[in-house]
Amino acid sequence: MAFKTGVAERDEWSYSPAVGVGPLRFGMTVDEVVEAAEMLGQTKVSDCARDHAIFTPTWKVEVHRRGVAPSPPAVTAYVSQAVGLFCIAADAVHGPQVSYDGLPLVGRELSEPESDAIAYAEAMDVPFRYTPEGYAGPDDSGVVMRGQLVGQVLRSHPLFMVTRDGANTEWDSMPSEEYRVNGHSTA
């Protein structure tokens, strides 16, 4: 089932920590990601810059929605040679709406998922964490909440992750292409 957000019709995907998002499963190879992503649209595979020698070579698989004028990728998947798929980024405008335990995470005004995460943590009696940028999210869920500037509004652009080869945490694992401050890339 899909719903309208005012910008693009979105597929609805769910997130399972340490398992995957929608049809994408952590640990998949590049070819498996391309095959699984065909339901959403066309894919483009490229090498990622190797900013840290500790990481094995990494590929970026950009998935563009079918029938949408040239636009940013709806989903970007990062695949490491050593561990396979380790990071899935959903675009705030074109990406699928991904929910985690009933909480919609993609494309919302950034304060909304933060309020929901705090309420969820209190209701479930689990901790939540703040990112170095100050965004709240569930602790140890594999979700790193990022901001994406859409017009004048900062929208939620979550990264769904597992720790990659040579890293200690999700933050250490984050692809350099996904480092953003107030919606702008710092890579």
The tens digit of pLDDT for each residue in 75-85 reads: 999 999 999 99
If you average pLDDT over every residue of the chain, what do you get?
A: 83
The pLDDT, as a whole number, for residue 114 is: 80
pLDDT bin (cut points 50, 70, 90) of residue 120 is confident
The pLDDT, as a whole number, for residue 187 is: 44
pLDDT digits (tens, 9 = 90+) for 9-54: 678 999 999 999 999 999 999 999 999 998 788 899 999 877 776 7
Q: Which two tokens stand for residue 78?
A: 């990062």
The pTM of the full predicted model, rounded to 2 decimals, is 0.85
pLDDT mean over 114-123: 83
3-state secondary structure of 90: strand
The pLDDT, as a whole number, for residue 4 is: 36
Q: How far is Cα 15 from Cα 156, in angstroms, rounded to an integer? A: 15
**Which comes out higher in pLDDT, residue 144 or 63?**
63
Specify the amino acid at residue 26: F
In the DSSP assignment, the letter for residue 109 is B
**Which comes out higher in pLDDT, residue 72 or 32?**
32
Considering only 26-35, 80-89, 161-170, 174-183, which range has the smallest mean pLDDT? 174-183
Burial class, 36, CB count within 10 angstroms (exposed 0-12 / middle 13-18 / buried 19+): buried
pLDDT digits (tens, 9 = 90+) for 132-145: 777 766 666 788 88
Res. 175: pLDDT tops 80: yes
The pLDDT, as a whole number, for residue 180 is: 58
Do 58 and 50 contact (CB within 8 A), yes or no?
yes
Q: How far is Cα 108 from Cα 100, in angstroms, rounded to an integer? A: 14
3-state secondary structure of 100: strand
The pLDDT, as a whole number, for residue 68 is: 62
